[in-house]
Chains A and B, each alone.
Chain A
Amino acid sequence: MIPLINTAAVSRVFGAGEAMVKALDQVSLSIEAGEFTAIVGPSGSGKSTLLHLIGGLDKPDTGTVELNGENIADMSGNKLSDFRRDNIGFIFQAYNLIPVLSAAENIEYIMLLQGITAAKRRVRVKEMLDIVGLAGLEKRRPAQLSGGQQQRVAVARAMATNPSIILADEPTANLDSKTGISLLDVMKELNQTKGMTFVFSTHDEKIIQRARRLVYLRDGLIEKEELQ
């Protein structure tokens, strides 16, 4: 069976000369569909870089990154944009919602890019708002929502198109403990009920406790892996 994600000997270097930093060094990792995996490590260990490579936001200097059997490291332009749009959902540490769009419009945006009809979009937006517990707040703009509510919108946006995988880069870093747990419970439930694959980059204990698989990174190398 082909793994959902497969990185083979992936390296990524930033800078040059004395300022050169090897963010990832020959990292090989496979993730199966339906996993709830956390890439764990201290700051600068290469977690976010690996997540960005898996998500096609960055390209490796060497190695391949396959998602659903397709090497996304070779993709560029519209093909890569479309691939990200249709297969990957992103959740960022800083929420990164579009401030001038309402919660509903933020969720709707990717579906619009996919050419989904307005009627279907509306139904899906309502469904997603219900799932993340934000029913009734659809018209609020990000500035009118709390940090936790904004991150819920980000989760809803990431899931709205039923992507193959959701990549979450330190999703709880800007949230208080209670809000973070509440959000993680939502994601965990989605993983269990809908079979959505989640990959986190984190050093948050709350995520580490809930993840089924932990991949420890240090200095750009996989230090160890654990199943919980």
Chain B
Amino acid sequence: MLILRLAWRNLFRNIRRTVLTCLLIASSLLTIIVMDGVMLGMIDVMISGLTHTLEGEAQINSKGFRDDFEPSLRLSNYQEIQSKLMHDPVVQGASARIIVGAMVASTHNNAGAIVYGIEASTEENVSKIADAVYAGSFLSGKEREIMLGRPMAELLEVELGDRLVLTSSTVDSKEIVQELFRLSGLFEFGPETLDENLIFINLTKAQSLFELPGAAHQIAIRFKQPEVANDPGLDLYKSFNDDSTEANGWLVLQPTMGAMLEMTGYTTFIIGGILFLLASLGIINSMFMSIYERIYEFGVLKSVGTRPANIIKLILTEAFFLALISCFFGLILGYFISVYFSTTGIPMGRMEMSGIVLDGNINTILAPYQFISFPIFVTLLTLIAAIYPALFASRIVPTEALQKAL
């Protein structure tokens, strides 16, 4: 107990230094808490951007369809699958799609495109296509409706109501087919790869145009709890992974996203490491200052029979108290700053990362581990940083230390 009292009181012998060191440790802790919250928020925005824009949180495709988008690989029983999905308690929405390459022509120009035949009624529960419409209206089921992205509309020099001709081939007979549409809506997702290449028409029209009656290529799924999307043990995945269909979450569908998330984790680790390295140097400096200031005392402590191990224990106890005080303030400040940015968000403007648009604010996300693991980590690092000064103090030669006192 006396060692604890001694260590605690020693901290307050030079209040300014103790406060500065605490500030250093506390600011490192709050920075890592807030930074991790921002990273989690950014990941959330990225995942949401990826899954909610178009892809869905999971998909059921005809086996092999995603390898090269071969249109003949269809889900002939898609309505049955869709019906089962809609009865699955974890599923919020499921929307069927036909995806076929085509040529689109206006009176001024033509372009290659990927045609998505979609169900207007179910798509709104799965993707943000309806939200991306900035002119005209979303599909309503009328036969000749077609929607283009802004850059494609500019290329084709068309406005709402203008005529467009789609040219493609039927899936099975490979006959050339042409169909006239009227531009009913313009959309803008953000990522240019989507806006320049995609065209949306009604699913029933696509089925008749490409001669895929009662069939679809893909069912995009959105879950009630997004976290279940990458659970490989999910019943849904077990049910629909067979000889004719494959069901996968977004992480399997977009492995580059997984790599990017992993990289984000490493970034936090590296920045946190650099931050704590700098803080550690500050701690070592502060502890050494404290030891030099009291060098005669260590001489006395050793003279009266204090073992080197007890000197080490004393310095480490001081470091532990320093870490405790710092963590207390770091946690409080970190919590309030994180809460503030979780509600107001950090304005990031509009930026695109790997085809995913981060738009508007990033709201920090608070997680329990930030307030449990990080302080433990900071305390351990403070103790590690104090080991060298502690060893130095334990090796002080009493006679030399006592001479410095005179």
Dominant SS among interface residues on chain B:
helix
Q: How far is the CB of B315 from chain A (nearest CB, A)?
A: 14
Indicate if the CB atoms of B308 and A93 lie closer than 8 Å. no
Among residues of A, the one whose C-beta sits closest to the C-beta of B304 is A110
Q: How far is the CB of B162 from chain A (nearest CB, A)?
A: 86
Among residues of A, the one whose C-beta sits closest to the C-beta of B307 is A81
Interface residues of A in 106-122 (CB under 8 A from B): 108-110, 112-113
CB of B300 closer than 8 Å to a CB of A:
yes
Q: What residues of chain B lie closer than 8 Å to A77, measured between beta carbons?
A: 308
Q: What residues of chain A lie closer than 8 Å to B402, measured between beta carbons?
A: 57, 92, 96
Residue A98 contacts which of B297, B309, B310 (CB distance < 8 angstroms)?
A: B297
CA of A108 to CA of B397 in the docked complex: distance in angstroms?
A: 23
On whether A105 and B303 interact (CB within 8 A), knowing A93-B406, A94-B405, the answer reads no
Q: How far is the CB of B334 from chain A (nearest CB, A)?
A: 31
Indicate if the CB atoms of B405 and A96 lie closer than 8 Å. yes
Chain A interface extent, by class: 20 to 34
- Complex interface bits, B1-35 against A, C-beta within 8 A gives 1, otherwise 0: 01101100110010000000000000000000000
CA of A8 to CA of B188 in the docked complex: distance in angstroms?
A: 97
Indicate if the CB atoms of B13 and A100 lie closer than 8 Å. yes
Residue B308 contacts which of A55, A78, A85, A112 (CB distance < 8 angstroms)?
A: A78
CB of A84 closer than 8 Å to a CB of B:
yes
CA of A57 to CA of B6 in the docked complex: distance in angstroms?
A: 23
Q: What residues of chain B lie closer than 8 Å to A99, measured between beta carbons?
A: 13, 297
Among residues of B, the one whose C-beta sits closest to the C-beta of A160 is B304
CA of A94 to CA of B299 in the docked complex: distance in angstroms?
A: 12
Q: How far is the CB of A75 from chain B (nearest CB, A)?
A: 12
Q: How far is the CB of B345 from chain A (nearest CB, A)?
A: 47
Indicate if the CB atoms of B398 and A109 lie closer than 8 Å. no
- Complex interface bits, A40-63 against B, C-beta within 8 A gives 1, otherwise 0: 000000000000100101100000
CB of A82 closer than 8 Å to a CB of B:
yes
- Complex interface bits, A54-89 against B, C-beta within 8 A gives 1, otherwise 0: 010110000000000000000001100111111010
Q: What residues of chain A lie closer than 8 Å to B307, measured between beta carbons?
A: 78, 81-82, 113
Indicate if the CB atoms of B399 and A58 lie closer than 8 Å. yes
Please give the number of chain B residues whose Cβ is less than 8 angstroms from any Cβ of chain A in the complex: 27
Indicate if the CB atoms of B304 and A100 lie closer than 8 Å. no
CB of B138 closer than 8 Å to a CB of A:
no
Indicate if the CB atoms of A105 and B2 lie closer than 8 Å. yes
Among residues of B, the one whose C-beta sits closest to the C-beta of A95 is B300
Q: What residues of chain B lie closer than 8 Å to A175, measured between beta carbons?
A: none
CA of A90 to CA of B9 in the docked complex: distance in angstroms?
A: 24
Indicate if the CB atoms of A98 and B300 lie closer than 8 Å. yes
Residue A112 contacts which of B2, B10, B299 (CB distance < 8 angstroms)?
A: B2
CA of A17 to CA of B297 in the docked complex: distance in angstroms?
A: 32
CB of A101 closer than 8 Å to a CB of B:
yes
CB of B291 closer than 8 Å to a CB of A:
no
On whether A110 and B305 interact (CB within 8 A), knowing A98-B297, A100-B9, the answer reads yes
Q: Beyond the given A81-B305, A81-B307, A94-B406, could you list 15 further A-B residue pairs with CB under 8 A, ordered by the A residue number?
A: A77-B308, A81-B306, A82-B307, A84-B305, A85-B305, A85-B306, A92-B300, A92-B303, A94-B296, A96-B405, A98-B301, A100-B9, A101-B9, A108-B2, A110-B304
Those 4 A-B pairs whose CB atoms lie nearest each other, nearest first? A85-B305, A100-B9, A96-B300, A84-B305
A–B complex contacts, Cβ < 8 Å, 13 sampled = A52-B398, A77-B308, A81-B306, A92-B303, A93-B406, A94-B406, A96-B299, A100-B6, A101-B5, A105-B5, A109-B2, A109-B304, A113-B307
